[in-house]
Structure formats: C-alpha cells, structure tokens
Amino acid sequence: MRTRITELFGIKHPIIQGGMHFVGFAELAAAVSNAGGLGIITGLTQQTPEKLAKEIERCRDMTDKPFGVNLTFLPSISQPPYPEYIAAICEGGVKIVETAGRSPEQYMPTLKAAGIKVIHKCTSVRHSIKAEAIGCDAVSVDGFECGGHPGEDDIPNMILLPRAADELNIPFVASGGMADARSLVASLAMGAEGMNMGTRFIATREAPVHDNVKRAILEANELDTRLVMRPLRNTERVLKNVGVDKLLEIERSKGANTKIQDIHELVAGVYPRVMVDGDMDAGAWSCGMVVGLINDIPSVKDLIDRIMTEAEALVRGRLENLLAA
Ligand SMILES: Cc1cc2nc3c(=O)[nH]c(=O)nc-3n(C[C@H](O)[C@H](O)[C@H](O)COP(=O)(O)O)c2cc1C
C-alpha cells in the first residue's frame, strides 16, 4: 500500500509502532521495521544519551530498514538533557524522530538541519495545526482511546481524525485504539495516511517485556482501563490494577488538591517493576482501550502481514460488495 506516510518514511506498510517506555527497545523497533512498518526506539527509556547511542547501534545491527526514535518532552521540572539526546540521534544517523508531550518547536532547527523527518504526536486539532506551522513533516493524531496521555479534551478518533483531515495539509496517522485491518481501513477512510499502534505491539512475541504483561493484555477487555492524574492535568490511560485502585482512591479523597507527591510511589519508577519484573499491581502503566480487541500474541511480522492482507480483503470484498449491491 502506498500513502503519503509510506512515501515520507520510505516504508512498505503505513503502520508505525509508537514510542513506549520500557517497551520500545531495539528488539521491537527492529522487528517492526523488518516487517515493513516503522519501528521506534523510546529515547528516554535509555537513562543517558550515551546509552541511547548504543541502543541505536544495536537496532542498526538488527535491521537495515528505516527506524525512528521517540523523544517525549516531559512536563517535569528536572528536564532530561534533550540537546544531548538529540545529538545522539543525529550522530547515530537516525532520520526519523517521533516527538510527543510538549511542543518540539525549540529543537526543530537542529532536527531539520540534520535532515530528520519529525512526526509529532498530538491529542488535539489545535496542537496538530501548530505542529504543521512549526515545520513538522507529519502528525500522529492520538484520540481519547489511546494508551498513555490522551490530553484533557477527551475527543475520540471518530471526531478527531476527520477534524484533522479538514485542517491539515501535512499527512497524519491515526493513533489510539488501532489494532487490526478494520482500524487501518477506517482510519484511511477518515483521511489518515496510516496508523500508529502502541498497546497492540506489546502483545507480540518480540516485545521485550515480561510475559505477565502480555497475559494481562490478553485477559483485559475494553472496560479495564482507567484515567489517572486527571486532577494534575496530566491524564494518563492505564490498565487497572491494585496500585491504580489505590491511586484513584487518593485522588478521590484529595480531589482538586491532589499533588504529585501524594501519588508519587504509584506513578514513578513503576515501568521497570511492571515490564521487567512482571509485578502487575505495582501502579500506573499506560494501556489503551484497544486491549478489548487483542486476543493473541503473534510475531510482529504475522501481525502486520495479517493487517495488510485483511485490509485488502475489506476494501476489495466488503466495501466493493456494498457498492455493487
Ligand atoms: C506501555 C506504554 C508506554 C508508552 N510510553 C510512551 C512514551 O514514553 N512516549 C510517548 O510519546 N508515548 C508513549 N506511549 C503512547 C504510544 O506511543 C501510543 O501513542 C499509544 O499507545 C497509542 O494508543 P494505543 O495504545 O491505543 O495503540 C505509551 C503507550 C503504552 C501503551
């Protein structure tokens, strides 16, 4: 399939694996890129720019296809050394960066000077328009369904995607709630040029996470995610568990006065405990409503091949037949 996104990134299929903390290591990124999609290493999971440089090298050893690095601009006071992370990306010869969180505006000149294509993840149309204005090459439009940070507007993709199509000139992919061929075809129908998946890629053979995480995704359904950190205006969609119940109880009792210190142990340092140790009740880890659509743990290649084959069947079969009828 050829879209503006496959052309922009030099990939075979319009499927991107979004950056995921403690999931987006070289193993997963390379598997996605080798399968014809765009794999993405999560920059800040590597504790230092030097470690990111090594991870990029490791990924390059595993694939000769294009892959990207995610840089998440955090709202926190103690900022990671972003210029050094960007230097590691440029020196590593990576040509695609997925930015997320705060606007990448101040880093655009450096990224562009290095010939890097920037896809910024946005949860609103106004942020998408801003991304286009500051020179981003594409946008990942992340609906309210998404795992991770859906923003504070709560607009799901059935509205957000056509709105983005009406306003943007640069290409965009649909993100949040994407799992299969139905997601891809529907996104294309709404004006997207491809799709970005997070949660779906965790339940794959190559995802380098504890089996308990994959099992939890298989067992969960679309009712099992929760929104945490709403009182802090840093909303995150996570999988419910004992730690998340505790967190929500604290938020309920403190209301608008909730401070990050009140919930710190249930949101900070949780990822290695979940993803590496398999401690599923440790606290908040991102997970999308799309868990309700995930029922197997295929290889990344089987997943992507299945999506592309079924997408073609959907268009040439079901949709054509409806027109012919
Ligand atoms: C476990 C997990 C960790 C994530 N970590 C990050 C991150 O560090 N940076 C980021 O930009 N997005 C992160 N995301 C969001 C994904 O890149 C993607 O936008 C999102 O998962 C899409 O929604 P979906 O899960 O419904 O596919 C994370 C998502 C998950 C599920």
pLDDT at 325: 80
Q: Which residue has the tokens 């504070």?
A: 152
Closest atom of ligand 1 relative to the 201 alpha carbon: 27
Q: Is 175 helix (H, G, I), strand (E, B) or coil?
A: strand
Structure tokens of 224?
Answer: 């099992």
Tell me the best of 102, 199, 273 to mutate to test the pocket of ligand 1, counting ligand atoms within 8 Å of each CB and taking the most: 199
Q: What angle do CA 117, 15, 111 make, to 5 degrees?
A: 10
The answer to whether residues 69 and 86 touch, using CB atoms and an 8 Å cutoff, is: no
Q: What is the rounded CA–CA span in Å between residue 99 and residue 280? A: 28
Q: What is the rounded CA–CA span in Å between residue 76 and residue 201? A: 27
Residue-wise DSSP of 89-157: HHHTT--EEEEEES--GGGHHHHHHTT-EEEEEESSHHHHHHHHHTT-SEEEEE-TT-SB---SS---H
Written as one letter, the residue type at 153 is D
Q: Output the CA 21–ligand 1 centroid distance in Å.
A: 8
Q: What phi, psi does 184 have (nearest 5°)?
A: -65, -50
Closest atom of ligand 1 relative to the 179 alpha carbon: 27
Q: What is the rounded CA–CA span in Å between residue 43 and residue 24? A: 9
Q: What is the rounded CA–CA span in Å between residue 140 and residue 3? A: 15
Mean pLDDT estimate for the chain: 97
- Each residue of 249-302: pLDDT tens digit? 999 999 999 999 999 999 999 999 999 999 999 999 999 999 999 999 999 999
Q: What percent of the chain has pLDDT over 90?
A: 98
- Each residue of 55-112: pLDDT tens digit? 999 999 999 999 999 999 987 777 999 999 999 999 999 999 999 999 999 999 999 9
Instruction: Name the pairing type of β-strands 195-197 and 225-228.
Output: unpaired
Q: What phi, psi does 240 have (nearest 5°)?
A: -70, 145
Q: Which residue has the tokens 């609103």?
A: 124
Q: What percent of the chain has pLDDT over 70?
A: 100
Closest atom of ligand 1 relative to the 271 alpha carbon: 1
Closest C-alpha residue for ligand 1 atom 5? 20
Report whether CATH 3.20.20.70 matches the domain 4-208.
yes
**Closest by Cα among 169, 177, 17, 37 to 186:** 177
pLDDT at 75: 77
Closest C-alpha residue for ligand 1 atom 3? 20
**Helices 300-313 & 181-189, crossing angle to 10 degrees?**
50
Q: What is the rounded CA–CA span in Å between residue 289 and residue 133? A: 31
